Amino acid sequence: MKKTISLTVNGVERTAEVEPRLTLLDLVREHFGLTGAKLGCDVQVCGACTLLVNGKPISACSMLAVDADGCEVVTIEGLSEQNKLHPVQEAFVEFGALQCGYCTSGFILTAKALLDETPHPSEQQIRDYLAGNFCRCGCYQEIIQAIKNVGSEA
Amino acid sequence: MKNFEYLEPTSIAEACALLKQNGDEAKIFAGGAHLTILMKQGLYQPRALINIKKIAELKGIRCSDAELSIGALVTHRELETSALVRDKFPVLCEAEREVANIRVRHMGTVGGNLASGEPLTDLSQIFIALDGKVKITGPNGERTIPVQELFLDFYTTSLADDEIITEVMIPLLPKKSGIEYLRFSSSSVVDKPAVGVAVRLTLESRNEMIELARVVLGCVGATPVRARRAEEILTGKRLSLDSAVEAGKAASQECDPISDLRGSADYKRAIVGTLVRRAAVKAYERAMRN
């Protein structure tokens, strides 16, 4: 019943033997020990489990691991280089764009995908792209400011 | 989630054969946006999933002189950002901006959206208003039906157990045509729509009389419905605010909404009336310019 899949996770080639029912979120958390992405609503609404698959944000709670066979997956652990944070991470720190941090990896990865697509987004574009990420601490203003700040840099 | 077998055919014929072998115990798996939720909740426990994402023929958006063709595997996001779609049917790009959230739009496919029979959705209303057709392949060949005929009841389509949606075809609009789609979400912007209304109008070539009207109401019944009475009210005359209001009133009586967390049935009927009026005015403006 198990399938062997190979995928790139944060730039590293990985293979895994998985049951088809395993979600991508469980694969990265349980098999690869990358626990930055969190399980929230479990129905693709909240964004806490967001990962980038081939550069695009998806809900890892609802993507099958077997479906990620051959894909390039980026988790929050893959954003910083050595000890240098990604600009979006820096901005989240600078603007205080988090409190409990549960939603943060999802927000940062989604923001990265937006900035890769649209390097200088308008506030409306930021709001539209991130409309499906929920922060129950209510840091939305700071989050938008942080992303705007990164997007305004040359 | 219960375990299942994961099959990966590389052609439509192979996929149909696998469906036939497994009867109603197998399900086509495309984006998975809808199916994985049902499976995690235990509402659906297939013996096998048939992943069709390796079938190249099901991908891509094309346009001929006569119609736009959208492959079943085209994602919501592809539709939203396609230059071809923006050129021919900008209404689809605008509607897609509001479908669920960016993650679901990256995963979910047009074929899956239709095949789910989900009543709280957007695309089907627009496709029906545009006289769209859906191409279906089964073991005995291909058939093409109007999108309207795909939907039978809540989460129930006319697809047989061994059939696959392969593409949606939308005839290009004649000159002097306009369409508008309006959706209303009663809680947050990323919620499913409480009401979704598409109005498409085509005017006579020599004057501004409405020759053809389509008024399609979604989310307010088991399937999307055409508001035939509202269409009659609009047809054969120029649009006036009065006729738009009257069409809205008629449409609000031509649906069968349920009361739920997104609003009472009466509330949704009132919303239908307003959206039909607004969409008719917008569609008419666009038709005059085209």
Q: What is the pLDDT, as a whole number, of residue A78? A: 97
- The fold adopted by the segment(s) B178-289 is Enolase-like; domain 1 (3.30.390)
Maximum distance among all Cα pairs of chain B, rounded to whole angstroms = 62
> Vertex B210, ends B205 and B212: CA angle to 5°?
95
The domain defined by A3-77 carries CATH number 3.40.50.300? no
A39 touches chain B (CB under 8 A): no
Please check whether residue A111 is in contact with residue A24, taking contact to mean a CB–CB distance below 8 angstroms.
Answer: no
Tell me the pairing of strands A56-59 and A72-74.
unpaired
What's the pLDDT tens digit per position in A18-27? 999 999 999 9
Q: Which CATH class is domain B59-171?
A: alpha beta
**Cβ–Cβ pairs < 8 A, chains A and B:** 76
* SS3 per-residue string spanning chain B: CCCCEEECCCCHHHHHHHHHHHHHHEEEECCCCCHHHHHHCCCCCCCEEEECCCCHHHCCEEECCCEEEEECCCEHHHHHHCHHHHHHCHHHHHHHCCCCCHHHHHHCEHHHHHHCCCCCCCHHHHHHHCCCEEEEEECCEEEEEEHHHHEEECCEECCCCCCEEEEEEEECCCCCEEEEEEEECCCCCCCCCCEEEEEEEEECCCCCCEEEEEEEEECCCCCCEECHHHHHHHCCCCCCHHHHHHHHHHHHCCCCCCCECCECHHHHHHHHHHHHHHHHHHHHHHHHHC
Flag if A44 and B100 touch (Cβ within 8 Å). yes
The percentage of residues in chain A with a pLDDT greater than 90, rounded to a whole number, is 96
Which segments of chain B have a pLDDT < 50? Answer: none
- The model carries a pTM of 0.96
Q: Which residues contact B126 (CB under 8 A, 6 or more apart)?
A: B91, B92, B95, B132, B179, B181, B198, B216
**How does the average pLDDT of chain A come out, rounded?**
97
Quick one: which of B183, B61, B180, B56 has its CA closest to B130?
B180
The percentage of residues in chain A with a pLDDT greater than 70, rounded to a whole number, is 99
Quick one: which of B102, B53, B89 has its CA closest to B74?
B53
Same fold, A3-77 and A87-152: no
Flag if B36 and A64 touch (Cβ within 8 Å). yes
Q: What is the pLDDT, as a whole number, of residue A82? A: 85
Q: Which residues contact B160 (CB under 8 A, 6 or more apart)?
A: B138
The domain limits of chain B are 5-48, 59-171, 178-289
Please check whether residue B251 is in contact with residue B287, taking contact to mean a CB–CB distance below 8 angstroms.
Answer: no
H helix and E strand count, chain A: 5, 5
For residue B1, give the chain A residue with the closest CA.
A21
The domain limits of chain A are 3-77, 87-152
Buried b (16+ CB within 10 A) or exposed e, A67-79: bbbebebbbbbbb
Mean pLDDT of A94-117: 98
Q: What is the pLDDT, as a whole number, of residue B208? A: 93
Element holding A59 (H helix, E strand): strand A56-59
Flag if B102 and A131 touch (Cβ within 8 Å). yes
d(CA B11, CA B9): 6
Flag if B77 and A56 touch (Cβ within 8 Å). yes
Q: Cα dihedral angle (B104, B123, B72, B17), rounded to 10 degrees? A: 100
For residue B107, give the chain A residue with the closest CA.
A58
- The fold adopted by the segment(s) A87-152 is DNA polymerase; domain 1 (1.10.150)
Q: What is the pLDDT, as a whole number, of residue A154? A: 61
Q: Given the structure tokens 């991470």, which residue do they identify?
A: A89
Residue B106: list chain A partners with CB under 8 A.
56-58
Q: What is the pLDDT, as a whole number, of residue B23? A: 85
Q: What is the pLDDT, as a whole number, of residue B214? A: 98
Taking only Cα atoms into account, the Rg of chain B, rounded to an integer number of angstroms, comes to 19
Q: What is the pLDDT, as a whole number, of residue B40? A: 95
* Helix, strand and coil percent figures for chain B, each rounded to 5: 40, 25, 35
Query: How high is the ipTM of this complex?
Result: 0.97
Burial tier of A105 (Cβ tally within 10 Å: 0-12, 13-18, 19+): buried
pLDDT at A153 over 90: no
A19 touches chain B (CB under 8 A): yes
Residue B40: list chain A partners with CB under 8 A.
42, 62
For residue A58, give the chain B residue with the closest CA.
B103
What's the pLDDT tens digit per position in A106-140? 999 999 999 999 999 999 999 999 999 999 999 99
Which candidate from B2, B53, B103 shows the least CB-CB separation from A21? Answer: B2
The CATH number of the domain covering residues in B5-48: 3.30.43
> For residue A100, how many other CB atoms are within 10 A of its CB?
10
B77 touches chain A (CB under 8 A): yes
Please check whether residue B122 is in contact with residue B95, taking contact to mean a CB–CB distance below 8 angstroms.
Answer: yes
